[in-house]
Amino acid sequence: MSSARVPDATDPMAVAVVVARDGRLPVGAVEAVAEAGGRVVVVGSGAEDAALALTGVTHARWADTGFRPAALAAALAVVVARDTLVVLPASPDGRDLAPRLAAATGRPLLARAIAARVVHGDPPGVCAQVSRVDDRMLVPVDVRGPAVVTLAVGGRPAGHTGASADALGSPDASYEALDLGGPLDDPAEPELVALLEPDLQTMDLADASRVVAGGAGLVAGLDDHRATGVFDLLVGVAAALGGSAGATRVATDAGWTGYERQIGTTGVTVDPDLYVALGVSGAAQHTGGLGAPRHVVSVNTDPSCPMTAMADLGLVTDAHALLVELARRLGVDDTGGPEVARA
Ligand SMILES: Cc1cc2nc3c(=O)[nH]c(=O)nc-3n(C[C@H](O)[C@H](O)[C@H](O)COP(=O)(O)OP(=O)(O)OC[C@H]3O[C@@H](n4cnc5c(N)ncnc54)[C@H](O)[C@@H]3O)c2cc1C
């Protein structure tokens, strides 16, 4: 692979720090890389594969470090010492590492930003928009000097292009292994007893890399009791597909599922690799919480609804019948009982 355009060594720069797990990127990784103008350090496990899977990279460095956050923060402090802006996705690992990295570098932490950029000056600084009050308020923050920022998943405004957008998607991206100086260890590091994967049925929807969502069309013609059974089934089918169940506000307002499942401007913002919409019209208030899913599948009887218009794959069919068939093929218990099947 060839070398990327090398910025002037005195330029204040931005870099993303991304923690991979077994080569899997966390949600929000691509956004963080974009916000940093394409420069990224990938650590964790399977870091090289994860770095190669990133899009929008101009210069990627990677190191297989495992995840010992205290030791990792100390090692990374040296690597990012010259970067004015350090951006981490607000994924679980990103939220764990960012405050440690801020402490190790002696920088302020701006948590849950939707945008951040380097401000040129003497000294160079960071300007960010941080999201507060359950995403109902955006607060501008200016820091004179370097800062560490976590970027809210899916919150980056569409079309917002970060530090050096002209470099995004450059065919000249360069990749290099990074030597962080031997096995990372820190006597103060808590002992890792076991690493438990999140329960797909109850995990925070914002952290899900696959989301299967239901809307009013999934339960068309059913009463509230039977509709609740269908949404219970949706949770099981989503988990069998390696994902979490989401819903529209129509579904949460009706009480068919909990409010923590609601995706949209007044609900959770998600940014999955795969978003499957079952009987969802695709209203702006719903898609406003969708981030930039890599793949969208819409199942709807209306071939021209907005959700299908924005989908990579549109299936024009009855969403409930499709869900029941998926449950049968995936061996998912019909937790809603026999009433789930359409009468
Ligand atoms: C201030 C405000 C904030 C809001 N915030 C949110 C929010 O955060 N999240 C949110 O989701 N909404 C929100 N809404 C509501 C939003 O405007 C829409 O009303 C809502 O998203 C529509 O939900 P839906 O797609 O489930 O239902 P509908 O709009 O009723 O659409 C149902 C869809 O199902 C299809 N359909 C019907 N029968 C079938 C079938 N048998 N099989 C397959 N498809 C079928 C229809 O063609 C249609 O496309 C908000 C509204 C306001 C005013």
> Ligand 1 centre and the CA of 313: distance in Å?
19
Q: How do strand 39-44 and strand 125-132 relate by DSSP bridges?
A: unpaired
What is the pTM assigned to this prediction? 0.77
Q: How many other β-carbons are positioned within 10 Å of the β-carbon of residue 272?
A: 29
User: Ligand 1, from 266, 269, 323, 326: best to mutate by most atoms within 8 Å of Cβ?
Assistant: 266
**Any idea which residue has 């907005």 for tokens?**
306
171-193 pLDDT, tens digit each: 678 999 999 876 677 777 777 78
Burial of 294 (0-12, 13-18, 19+ CB in 10 A): middle
Would the CATH topology of 13-177 be identical to that of 205-340?
yes
| Closest CA relative to residue 13, chosen from 42, 48, 38, 31 | 38
The structure tokens 């962080």 sit at 180
267 CB under 6 A from ligand 1?
A: yes
* Pairing, β 125-132 against β 137-143: antiparallel
Domains in the chain: boundaries: 13-177, 205-340
- Quote the pLDDT of residue 211: 97
In this prediction, residue 190 carries a pLDDT of 76
Assess whether pLDDT exceeds 50 at residue 75.
yes
Task: List, for residues 108-147, the tens digit of each pLDDT value.
Answer: 999 999 999 999 999 999 999 999 987 778 999 999 999 9
At the top level of CATH, which class does the domain 205-340 belong to? alpha beta
**Burial class for 22, CB neighbours closer than 10 Å (0-12, 13-18, 19+):** exposed
Instruction: Please choose from 260, 299, 300, 308 the residue to mutate so as to test ligand 1's pocket, defined by most ligand atoms within 8 A of CB.
Output: 300
C-alpha 115 – ligand 1 centre gap (Å): 29
Does ligand 1 come within 6 angstroms of the Cβ of 283?
yes
Atom of ligand 1 nearest to the CA of 266: 8
Which residue, among 30, 62, 44, has the nearest Cα to 174 in the 3D structure? 62
CATH assignment, 13-177 = 3.40.50.620
Question: Do the beta carbons of residue 115 and residue 157 sit within 8 Å?
Answer: yes
User: Which tens digits make up the pLDDT trace of 270-295?
Assistant: 989 999 999 999 999 999 999 888 89
* Ligand 1 contact via 281 beta carbon (within 6 Å): yes
Is residue 301 lining ligand 1, measured as CB closer than 6 Å?
yes
